[in-house]
Amino acid sequence: GAGVSQSPSNKVTEKGKDVELRCDPISGHTALYWYRQSLGQGLEFLIYFQGNSAPDKSGLPSDRFSAERTGGSVSTLTIQRTQQEDSAVYLCASSLALAGPYEQYFGPGTRLTVT
């Protein structure tokens, strides 16, 4: 079946603009995660959703970052007033449930470049 999809695959934006990144999880997966991967670095956890709710937003790096998930499926990560340090690959993953099994399946990522 279809895996996790993300759009756009690449986004170039000017500093100060807002961007929206989209994630479409695997059908039936109730848990959804957002990560950030800076060049040559590991994955930084940002936020997870169980259904439509996000119990823990402490991983978001600043209040310019927000995420929502409606209908228990598609999620959008919004970055307001983008800064150059926001440049990274943003990865989305989904899993069947938070309580297990824990296997997370990743999308291809959105490469964000802030000029």
Partner 1 sequence: GENVEQHPSTLSVQEGDSAVIKCTYSDSASNYFPWYKQELGKGPQLIIDIRSNVGEKKDQRIAVTLNKTAKHFSLHITETQPEDSAVYFCAARHQNNNDMRFGAGTRLTVKP
Is residue 25 part of the contact set for partner 1 (CB under 8 A)? no
Site map 42..61 versus partner 1, x via CB under 8 A = xxxx--x-x----xx--x--
Cβ-Cβ contacts under 8 Å for 58 (sequence gap 6 or more): none
Is residue 16 part of the contact set for partner 1 (CB under 8 A)? no
Interacting positions 61-90 with partner 1 (CB under 8 A): none
Please state whether beta strands 10-13 and 110-114 pair in parallel, antiparallel, or not at all (unpaired).
Answer: parallel
- 9: tokens are 């695959």
The rounded distance, in Å, linking the Cα atoms of 68 and 39 is 25
Residue 97 DSSP class: -
The rounded distance, in Å, linking the Cα atoms of 65 and 25 is 20
Is residue 26 part of the contact set for partner 1 (CB under 8 A)? no
Is residue 109 part of the contact set for partner 1 (CB under 8 A)? yes
Nearer to partner 1, 16 or 99 (CB): 99
Is residue 104 part of the contact set for partner 1 (CB under 8 A)? yes
Choose the binding region for partner 1 from 13-21, 34-42, 60-68, 69-77 (rule: CB under 8 A): 34-42
Q: Report the 10 Å Cβ neighbour count for 106.
A: 15
- Give me the least distance between CB of 113 and partner 1, in Å please: 15
